[in-house]
């Protein structure tokens, strides 16, 4: 189908959607009343039932923990898929041959950039761990903190080159950590089976409010998720960077 | 407050349009990063700090990085294919 | 509870922005000339769902559902369930876009071009 036909068909469909939208807006209820009772129940119960002050983390890892298991495994499988797709053996040999014919000079970052970047790695790691562990008290949790940790690994690559990145974060270790994170979530959920309760029930002692140990399994699940998300993103970096290796080896 | 919310919604719509209308791939990382930041601001204005945290790190760091790496890889691949075609032509 | 008219304005503009983003993202996908641009238009379509969910969960005048720093536990707050949905969704969709970009790299490698029209995948 040629481009103009495709566009014409699209504009037809889009105007249909727009017209239906404006007709529907007359009778849609105000958003203030949608789902109000469920939200009020959760908001009033997170503190007394779980000693958690961040309702969103409680919903994510406790009240709707089963959905989070699914989402985490979507992440796991997508990372797996990207790694598989970007693993090309014969193309690399071809590229090495062609690159060896013409020397490729890798101009690394300047000293000022390196100083600034390398001094930011430690604060980023600490900040990432802070967000992961304080997920149940303030906005944060496994997902956000995991990506902050992964960004610390990323700026290690930006400040140095790929060889240093590969030596510091060996791929086998990161893969093991990701598996530990994903499996850890499931294992913590299965802990409750030993007490005769359903999957992912919060059975550990709830701790005091406003402390890191509040919420029982929520803290543990948050840490497992943070591990998995950060390891997953570092593996994605590996997948995309795999090919940019110099022919004569590491620098 | 309502004015701020309406403004940020308009900004979201405008930057979304810019992401689609900017056809040149070399400008995509910047534009997507900007869109991500404005979305994160919108989440903040509508009282969703967790979501805003997520969106900032993903949309301003993770996504543009992957786009840049993809573009670098595409360019490398194009160079390789070109050199292979030249080699075949000279044989 | 009688709502002020300003909330109706906010509702309408929120839904309008969501539909606008959806349609413009679809337009980007349909008329794109580079596969990377196609993946990023998909990001815009994803953003339309986030805008819709945020508008659904918002209650005017109430604080965020984090009960520290002066917000007493049990007091009314914004809907936390919708935020939980969005939160995991953002991270996971970024990974899915990474998968799509990986597919783009493969297509470019085997077809030599990144233009969706030129890619002739059904070659026998």
Q: Is B10 on the interface with A (CB under 8 A)?
A: no
The more confident residue out of A206 and C19 is C19
When mean pLDDT is compared over A30-34, C1-5, C14-18, the highest value belongs to: C14-18
Mean pLDDT, residues C75-100: 88
The more confident residue out of A126 and C72 is A126
Q: Give backbone dihedrals phi and psi of A54, rounded to 5 degrees, phi first.
A: -105, 105
- Tell me: pLDDT of B22 over 70: yes
- Percent of chain A scoring above 70 in pLDDT: 80
Mean pLDDT, residues C13-27: 91
Yes or no, beta carbons of B32 and C14 under 8 Å apart: no
Yes or no, beta carbons of C21 and B50 under 8 Å apart: no
- The pLDDT of residue C81 is 87
- The pLDDT of residue A31 is 64
**Euclidean distance between CA atoms A35 and A186, whole angstroms:** 30
Question: Predicted confidence band at A169 (pLDDT cuts at 50, 70, 90)?
Answer: confident
- The pLDDT of residue C46 is 93
Question: Chain B residues with CB inside 8 Å of C119's CB?
Answer: none
For testing contact with chain C, the best of B15, B36, B42, B51 (most C CBs within 10 A)? B51
pLDDT tens profile A36-80: 777 778 887 777 777 788 888 888 888 888 888 899 899 999 999
**Euclidean distance between CA atoms C35 and B67, whole angstroms:** 11
Mean pLDDT, residues A93-120: 67
Which phi-psi region, left, alpha or beta, contains residue C70 (left: φ > 0; alpha: ψ -120 to 50)?
left
User: Between residues 29 and 58 of chain B, which touch chain A (CB distance below 8 Å)?
Assistant: 49-50, 52-54, 57-58
**Euclidean distance between CA atoms A146 and A178, whole angstroms:** 11
Which residue, A182, A179, A123, A160, is CA-closest to A241?
A160
CB neighbours (10 Å) of residue A169? 18
Question: Predicted confidence band at A99 (pLDDT cuts at 50, 70, 90)?
Answer: low
Strand partners, A54: C66
Question: Predicted confidence band at B31 (pLDDT cuts at 50, 70, 90)?
Answer: very high
Mean pLDDT, residues C92-97: 90
- The pLDDT of residue B89 is 84
pLDDT, mean over chain B: 89
Among B53, B66, B76, beta carbon nearest to A144: B53
CB neighbours (10 Å) of residue A249? 7
Question: Predicted confidence band at C17 (pLDDT cuts at 50, 70, 90)?
Answer: very high
- The pLDDT of residue B12 is 95
Question: Predicted confidence band at A34 (pLDDT cuts at 50, 70, 90)?
Answer: low
Comparing A104-113, A145-154, A186-195, the range with the smallest average pLDDT is A104-113
Q: Assign 3-class secondary structure to chain A.
A: CCHHHHHHHHHHHHHHHHHHHHHHCCCCCCHHHCCHHHHHHHHHHHHHHHCCCEHHHHHHHHHCHHHHHHHHHHHHHHHHHHHHHCCCHHHHHHHHHHHHHCCCCCCCCCHHHHHHHHHHHHHHHHHHHHHHHCCCCCCCCHHHHHHHHHHHHHHHHHHCCHHHHHHHCCHHHHHHHHHHHHHHHHHHHHHHHHHCCCCCCCCCCCCCCCCCCCCCHHHHHHHHHHHHHHHHHHHHHHHHHCCCCCCCCCC
- The pLDDT of residue A102 is 46
Question: Predicted confidence band at A95 (pLDDT cuts at 50, 70, 90)?
Answer: low
Q: Are C18 and C51 in contact (CB under 8 A)?
A: yes
Strand partners, A21: none
Mean pLDDT, residues A1-12: 83
Yes or no, beta carbons of B83 and A98 under 8 Å apart: yes
Distance from the Cα of C70 to chain B's closest Cα (Å) equals 15
Which phi-psi region, left, alpha or beta, contains residue B37 (left: φ > 0; alpha: ψ -120 to 50)?
alpha
- The pLDDT of residue B35 is 95
Comparing B3-7, B30-34, C35-39, C78-82, the range with the smallest average pLDDT is C78-82
pLDDT tens profile A192-250: 888 777 777 777 776 666 777 777 788 888 999 999 999 999 988 888 876 544 333 33
**Euclidean distance between CA atoms A233 and A239, whole angstroms:** 10
pTM of the model: 0.87
- Tell me: pLDDT of A29 over 80: no
Which residue, A223, A215, A79, A240, is CA-closest to A149?
A223
Q: Is B3 on the interface with A (CB under 8 A)?
A: no
Yes or no, beta carbons of B70 and C104 under 8 Å apart: yes
**Euclidean distance between CA atoms B3 and B25, whole angstroms:** 34
- The pLDDT of residue A188 is 86
């Amino acid at each position: 189908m040629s481009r103009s036909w495709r566009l014409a068909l699209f504009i037809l469909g889009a105007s249909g959607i727009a017209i239906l939208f404006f007709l529907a807006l007359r009778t849609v209820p105000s958003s203030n009343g949608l789902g109000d009772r469920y939200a009020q129940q959760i908001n009033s119960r997170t503190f007394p039932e779980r000693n958690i002050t961040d309702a969103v983390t409680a919903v994510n890892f406790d009240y709707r923990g089963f959905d989070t298991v699914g989402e985490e495994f979507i992440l796991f499988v997508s990372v797996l898929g990207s790694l598989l797709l970007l693993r090309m053996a014969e193309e690399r040999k071809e590229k090495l041959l062609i690159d060896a014919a013409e020397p490729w000079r890798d101009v690394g970052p300047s000293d000022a950039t390196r100083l600034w970047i390398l001094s930011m790695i430690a604060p980023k790691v600490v900040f990432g761990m802070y967000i992961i562990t304080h997920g149940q008290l303030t906005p944060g949790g496994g997902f956000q903190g995991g990506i902050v940790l992964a960004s610390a690994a990323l700026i290690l690559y930006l400040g140095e080159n790929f060889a240093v990145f590969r030596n510091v974060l060996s791929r086998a270790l990161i893969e093991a950590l990701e598996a530990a994170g994903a499996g850890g979530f499931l294992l913590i959920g299965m802990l409750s089976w030993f007490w005769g309760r359903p999957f992912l029930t919060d059975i550990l002692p709830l701790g005091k409010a406003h402390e890191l140990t509040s919420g029982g399994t929520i803290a543990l699940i948050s840490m497992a998720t943070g591990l998995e998300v950060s390891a997953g993103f570092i593996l994605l970096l590996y997948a995309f960077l795999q090919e940019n290796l110099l022919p004569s080896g590491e620098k | 407050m309502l004015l701020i919310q309406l403004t940020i919604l308009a900004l979201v719509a405008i930057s979304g349009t810019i992401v689609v209308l900017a056809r040149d791939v070399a400008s995509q990382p910047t534009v997507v990063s900007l869109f991500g930041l404005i979305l994160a601001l919108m989440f903040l204005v509508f009282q969703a700090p967790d979501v805003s945290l997520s969106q900032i790190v993903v949309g301003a760091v993770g996504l543009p990085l992957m786009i840049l790496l993809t573009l670098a890889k595409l360019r490398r691949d194009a160079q390789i294919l070109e050199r292979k075609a030249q080699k075949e032509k000279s044989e | 509870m009688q709502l002020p008219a300003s909330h109706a304005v906010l509702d309408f503009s929120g839904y309008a922005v969501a539909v606008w983003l959806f349609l413009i993202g679809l337009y980007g996908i349909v008329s794109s000339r580079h596969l990377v641009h196609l993946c990023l238009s998909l990001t815009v379509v994803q953003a339309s769902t986030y805008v819709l969910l945020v508008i659904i969960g918002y209650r005017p005048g109430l604080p965020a559902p984090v009960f520290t720093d002066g917000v007493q536990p049990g007091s009314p707050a914004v809907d936390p369930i919708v935020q939980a949905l969005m939160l995991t969704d953002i991270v996971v969709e970024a990974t899915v876009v990474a998968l799509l970009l990986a597919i783009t790299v493969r297509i470019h490698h085997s077809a030599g071009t990144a233009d969706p029209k030129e890619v002739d995948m059904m070659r026998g």
